[in-house]
Copies of this chain bind each other. A is one copy, B any other.
Amino acid sequence: MAQKKSANSDIFDVARAAGVSISTVSRVLNHPNLVKPDTRKRIEDAIKATGYIRNRAAQMMHGRRSGTIGLVVPTIDHTIFAELIQVFSEAVEEQGFSLILATHGYDLEREYQLLRKLLEHRVDGVALIGFEHLDETYGVLESQNTPAVTMWNYASDTRIPCVGASNISAGAMAAEHLMDLGHKEIALIISSAGGNDRAADRLHGARKAMKNRGITPIAEVSTQYSVSAAKRDCLSVLETQKPTAILCGNDVIGIGAMYAAARIGLSVPKDVSIMGIGDFKGSDETEPALSTVRLPAREIGQRAAKTLGRLIAGQTDVPATWQCDVRLLPRGSTAKHEL
């Protein structure tokens, strides 16, 4: 029976119950083979009887790592982050760490404050999203020399190790696809959250690819990350600008765009092609299925967790940057432009 004492039982309670010293109890927990099987059994029983649970905080005082990893994200409830967090969380747990998660809502000052709190907890490592952070954020990670990774974006020269895909390539790839299909009247609809360098990169990539072929977007509209906002904003673009194709900054916007087209009686892809970026869960199930560029969330999350684990273990041969490939997924929502 677990005891009902008001305070939680500690190693002394166990020692008392087993009639040994606390050293021996500690040894059962940490180096079981150093203690006589007989005594060990007695102590293990005492542990059960007292309901003793080790205190990480006290262990930490001895230089044991905290066994926690901090993850700071803009938000959880964007499909794509949810997927990434899920994978990262699993990978981190598998390595025996607990995950401390915090959300800053695209507020970089807040991100810094949350990071400081994580550091008070002496997290063994930290993962952040993207490269856009306060200088203080980078600074504190360096001065506390806490292992850190950045997920999602890729760049070859980074202040902290990164695992990600190039949003610039993704944007470019999406634009190329539309242009390859013969589209010239292309509208760009991107999401606008501040502190979000992903959207900016994709836009940038798309613009550049188009410029290379001498094509100018007939519209650049920013909208919110939500199907309804995207639907509303695409509606007006479709009505006023009559694009033959819409390049959407992410799949959620892409889905909004498809509904907008349906609403005003345009058929996708016959009357208008719609291109997403991301390959979110469900994007391949729409009718027609959404053409998009896959950002490999699973691979990124797993790789980042592995990298962080190695950094924490003090390994030195850890690649500082890791690029995961984006991939074009042409599906039903895009088609050749008919003259």
A contacts, CB < 8 Å to B: 2-4, 6, 8, 51, 53-58, 60-61, 66-68, 75-77, 79, 82-83, 85-86, 89-90, 93, 98-103, 105, 114, 116-122, 139-140, 142-145, 226-228, 231, 255-256, 259, 262-263, 281-282, 284-287
In the complex, are the beta carbons of A118 and B143 less than 8 A apart? no
In the complex, are the beta carbons of A2 and B143 less than 8 A apart? yes
Q: Which 9 A-B pairs have the closest CB atoms?
A: A2-B143, A57-B60, A82-B82, A227-B285, A76-B86, A77-B82, A57-B57, A77-B86, A51-B143
Q: CA–CA, A102 to B75, complex, Å?
A: 17
In the complex, are the beta carbons of B85 and A120 less than 8 A apart? no
**How far, in Å, is A2 (CB) from chain B's closest CB?**
3
**How far, in Å, is A320 (CB) from chain B's closest CB?**
19
In the complex, are the beta carbons of B100 and A86 less than 8 A apart? no
**How far, in Å, is A61 (CB) from chain B's closest CB?**
6
**How far, in Å, is A238 (CB) from chain B's closest CB?**
15
In the complex, are the beta carbons of B90 and A85 less than 8 A apart? no
In the complex, are the beta carbons of A68 and B282 less than 8 A apart? no
In the complex, are the beta carbons of A118 and B98 less than 8 A apart? yes
Q: CA–CA, A116 to B102, complex, Å?
A: 21
In the complex, are the beta carbons of B56 and A122 less than 8 A apart? yes
Note all chain B residues with C-beta closer than 8 A to A103: 86, 89-90, 93
In the complex, are the beta carbons of A285 and B262 less than 8 A apart? no
In the complex, are the beta carbons of B86 and A98 less than 8 A apart? no
**How far, in Å, is A160 (CB) from chain B's closest CB?**
16
Interface centre among A60, A76, A262, A263 (most CB of B within 10 A): A76
Q: CA–CA, A24 to B5, complex, Å?
A: 36
Q: CA–CA, A77 to B256, complex, Å?
A: 21
In the complex, are the beta carbons of A89 and B68 less than 8 A apart? no
In the complex, are the beta carbons of A122 and B55 less than 8 A apart? yes
Note all chain B residues with C-beta closer than 8 A to A4: 143
Note all chain B residues with C-beta closer than 8 A to A102: 89, 93, 98-99
Q: CA–CA, A100 to B67, complex, Å?
A: 12
Note all chain B residues with C-beta closer than 8 A to A263: 287
In the complex, are the beta carbons of B228 and A121 less than 8 A apart? no
In the complex, are the beta carbons of B76 and A98 less than 8 A apart? no
**How far, in Å, is A142 (CB) from chain B's closest CB?**
8
**Residue from B58, B67, B144, B284 in contact with A51 in the complex, judged by beta carbons closer than 8 Å:** B144
In the complex, are the beta carbons of A76 and B82 less than 8 A apart? yes
In the complex, are the beta carbons of B57 and A281 less than 8 A apart? no
In the complex, are the beta carbons of A120 and B54 less than 8 A apart? yes
- Contacts known (A86-B76, A282-B227); A68 close to B144, Cβ less than 8 A: no
Note all chain B residues with C-beta closer than 8 A to A100: 68, 98-101
**How far, in Å, is A231 (CB) from chain B's closest CB?**
6
In the complex, are the beta carbons of A75 and B86 less than 8 A apart? yes
Note all chain B residues with C-beta closer than 8 A to A68: 100, 121
**How far, in Å, is A252 (CB) from chain B's closest CB?**
8
In the complex, are the beta carbons of A61 and B57 less than 8 A apart? yes
Note all chain B residues with C-beta closer than 8 A to A226: 281
Cβ-closest chain B residue relative to A84: B77
**How far, in Å, is A207 (CB) from chain B's closest CB?**
28
